[in-house]
Amino acid sequence: MLSSFLPPDLLSQLRISSERRACPPTDLVEKALRWFLTHPSKDNAVYLSAPINALVEGLYVENTTMAEIKQHGDFGLGTFNFLDGEMVLLDGCVYQIRSDGNVYHVKDDEKSPFACVTFFNPDTLDDLENGSNSKGFYDLLDNLIPSENMLYAIRIDGTFSHVKTRVVPRSDNYRPLVEATKDQPIFDFHNVQGCLAGFYTPRFMESLNAPGYHLHFLSKDRQYGGHLIECVLGKVRIGIQHIPKLDVGLPITLDYLTTDLTRDVGNDLHKAEH
């Protein structure tokens, strides 16, 4: 019996997770043990160039270059100074998806107020043949991660029946993120090949990074993409990497050093991201 050797608080969390996933507690325990026993910790971290609450408060001009960001990872996402579009970092190349719908290559001297990156080396690869509907997409990902209290890098390559994205438009500095994202263009793509790149972050880290799943899409031909709103999978391969460390950069700029970042930005971040 699990109750004979698990502490009450962990047992309670296990029961809640079991009910939410419709999965027996013993199966969850086996899955978690198998994962952590067969995937030893690597000397790798999720790197944040700045805490996301600074972005939510409207600090859109920082001094972190793409060259510096790529020292910390070859995979990830973010944005650019003045909130000028969505960033995708794939295989060491940085792409900028602007609100005009086009994708641009980015030079190493371009700067970012927020980026989340790592060196991607998946622990697991799962091939999906039959796809999933938009409502089942995140349920599918939930079943592929063993714990909601860890960091994961997620890469999904293949064919997508439908992808819906948005792209944040360039904004003046100091304009709150919840205001800057009100007039975002929405893009719908059907039967496309491409890649979803992003992360799962535990919800207790919401002042540092976007909690839950945060994914950006980039087409295979590198011509379009954006911040994922919803999608329907076709034939894809899902790679997931468990990452046991978080490395947070704190910008050395006057704006960052003098801004009050103690406000709870959870509601604003949820509105801006969704």
Region 206-215 average pLDDT: 96
CB 82 within 8 A of CB 173: yes
Please indicate whether residue 68 or residue 265 has the higher confidence score (pLDDT): 68
Q: What is the pLDDT of residues 146-157, one digit of tens each?
A: 999 999 999 999
CATH number for the segment(s) 46-273: 3.30.1330.80
Cα(175)–Cα(81) distance, integer angstroms: 13
Please write down the HEC assignment for all residues of 161-221.
EEEEEECCCCCCCCCCHHHHCCCCCEEEEEEEEEEEEEEEECHHHCCCCCCEEEEEEEECC
Write down the number of H helices and E strands in the chain.
Answer: 8, 14
Q: Per-residue pLDDT averaged across 36-65, rounded?
A: 85
Across 75-84, 123-132, 158-167, least confident range = 123-132
Among 13-17, 163-167, 173-177, the minimum mean pLDDT is found in 13-17
pLDDT at residue 47, as a whole number:
98
pLDDT at 81 (0 to 100): 98
Tell me how far apart the alpha carbons of residues 222 and 84 are, in angstroms, rounded to a whole number.
18
Cα–Cα distance, 272 to 274 (Å, whole number): 6
Look at residues 86, 110, 95 and name the one whose alpha carbon lies nearest to residue 214: 86
pLDDT for position 38: 55
pLDDT above 70 covers a percentage of the chain that reads 91
**pLDDT (0 to 100) of residue 20:** 67
List the single range of 36-40, 105-109, 161-165, 204-208 with lowest mean pLDDT. Answer: 36-40
pLDDT band at 66 (very low <50, low <70, confident <90, very high): very high
What's residue 39's pLDDT? 54
pLDDT in tens, 111-128: 999 999 999 999 999 999
pTM: 0.84
Residue type, position 231, single letter: C
Distance from C-alpha of 219 to C-alpha of 99, rounded to nearest angstrom: 15
- When mean pLDDT is compared across 111-120, 130-139, 193-202, the lowest value belongs to 130-139
Q: Domain segments of the chain: what residues?
A: 2-38, 46-273
